[in-house]
Amino acid sequence: MRTQQGLFAGIFGRGGVDTGDEAWLQAMLDTEAALARAVERAGLAEPGAGAAVTAVAQASAFDAAELGRQAELTGNPVPALVRELTRMVPPGLAGAVHKGATSQDIIDTAAMLLAREALSALAADLTATAAAAAALAAAHRDTIMIGRTLLQQAVPVTFGLVAAGWLTGLDDAREAVARVRAGRLAVQFGGAAGTLASLDGDGLRVAGLLADELGLALPVLPWHTDRLRVLDVAGAAAGASAILGKAARDITLLAQSEVAEVREGDGAGPGAGPGGARGGSSAMPHKRNPVGAVALLGCTRQIPGLLATLAASAEHEHQRAAGAWHAEWQPFSDLLRLAGSAASWGAELLAGLEVDPARMRRNLDDARGLPLAEHVASLLSPALGPTAAHDLVARASAQAAGHDQQLRDALLDTPDFRYQLDQAGITAEQVESALDPARYLGSAAELVDAALAAHAAAEARLAP
C-alpha cells in the first residue's frame, strides 16, 4: 500500500501512514469541527453550529497550496484556514469557528490525530513483521549457522536465535507504540497564552468536551511549551525503526554473494527487475540485490536525524515558542511517514525471506573447526588448567589457519599436540565431539522457545 505520491514514494511512502498535506489539512479541519461541536454543547454557540461546521470541514473543499501561500503572512496556515472555514459556514453559526483557540491548539491537536492514525498503521505492520519473525524462529529453531561478532566468525548459533532476537525487539517496539497511543495522545487547548481567558470560566469545560469529541486524553494543563508528547510519539516510532533496521542490516550481510545464507523472496511487482524478480540488474544479471532490506534501511537511516531535530526543538520559550514549534512540523511528519514505510517493508521482507540451511552449514564447515576452539579448550581445562589448555589450542589453531588444515587434524596429527592430549587422557573421539557445532549451542533452543512464549503473551496483551 502506498499512501503518498511522488518520485520516491515507492521507497519512502509505503504502508498506511499518511502525513501528507491533505491528511494534515483534514486533521486540522476535524479539530475545528470538534471544537465547534464542543462549544455548542457548552451552550456557547447557536444550536446547529457544530453540525454546520462539521458539514463543510472537508479537506477536498480547500486549496492546501493556497493556504500554504497565505501562511507566509501569519507564520502558519491556520488563520487562512479559519477565514475560509468561517466564510463557508452560515453567518449566524460562524461564531463557533475557532472559538477560544489559538493556531497552536489546532496544529498540535491535529498532530495528535495524525499520530493516532500513524501509530495504528505502524502497529499493524509491526504485528505482521513480528509474526513473520516468529515463524522464522520456530522453523529454524535448530538450524545451525556461524555466529559473527565484530563482523568476524565467532561460535555457532542458530538462525532461529537470530530471528528470535528480531522478534523480541519487534515485540518491545509494539508495546512502546501501543503504550504511547493509549496514554500520551492528548488534546491541545489553551488559547493565546495557555489560560483560556477568552472563554472566561468555560474554558476547562470546553477543553473536556473537545477531548471527548476527538477521543483524545484531556491533559492537566495545555502543553504549548511542554513537548514531551511529541517526543514520546517520535521516540516510539524511532525505536520501532531501530529494530526494523537491525533486521534489515542482518539480512543485507547474510545475503552477500560470499555468504548467501538468506535471500529475499522473488517479490515480482513494481520493484521487479529483468525477468520479473525484484532485485535484478540489467548490467549484472548474476546479481540479486536485497531491495527490500536496502529500501528499509534507506528509511531508517533518516530517522535519527529527525528525532534529534525534534529533541533540539523541545526547548520552548515562555508561554509560546519563537520558531521551535515551527521546526517540529516537517520532521514530525517525515519521521512518522518513514517509520511507517520501514514497517511496511519489514512485513514483506521477513514474510518472504528465503533461508538456506545447507549454505549455513557449509559456511560453518568451511571454517575448519576453528570456531569450536573455545569448546576444545574447555574440554582440556580440567586436566591441563585454563592457561595451558588455551595455549595448546591457540597454537593448534594458528597451525590449522596457516596450513589450510582442519583443527581436528592439527590437534590429532601433530605429535606435540597429540602427546599433550594423550597425557591429559583426551581421546580422539572426545576431540571430534568437541568439534561438533551441534554440541556447542548452549541454551540457544531454550532461548528461542522463551522468545516464542513471550511473543504469544504479547499477542494476547496487544490483541484489539
Which residues, other chains included, contact 251 with Cβ-Cβ below 8 Å and sequence gap of 6+? 262, 264, 290, 293, 349, 353
Cα 125 from chain centre? 9
Q: CA-based angle 452:264:336, to the nearest 5? A: 70
Which residues, other chains included, contact 434 with Cβ-Cβ below 8 Å and sequence gap of 6+? 372, 375, 376, 378, 379, 440
Catalytic residue among 69, 83, 87, 281: 281
**Residue 288, SS3?**
coil
**Residue 147, SS3?**
strand
Per the annotation, the verdict on 120 as an active-site residue is: no
Q: CA-based angle 233:239:244, to the nearest 5? A: 130
Per the annotation, the verdict on 320 as an active-site residue is: yes
Catalytic residue among 320, 359, 361, 418: 320
User: What is the per-residue DSSP string for 222-253?
Assistant: --TT--HHHHHHHHHHHHHHHHHHHHHHHHHH
User: What is the per-residue DSSP string for 337-402?
Assistant: HHHHHHHHHHHHHHHT-EE-HHHHHHHHHTTTTGGGHHHHHHHHHHHH-HHHHHHHHHHHHHHHHH
- For the annotated catalytic residues, the residue numbers are 281, 320
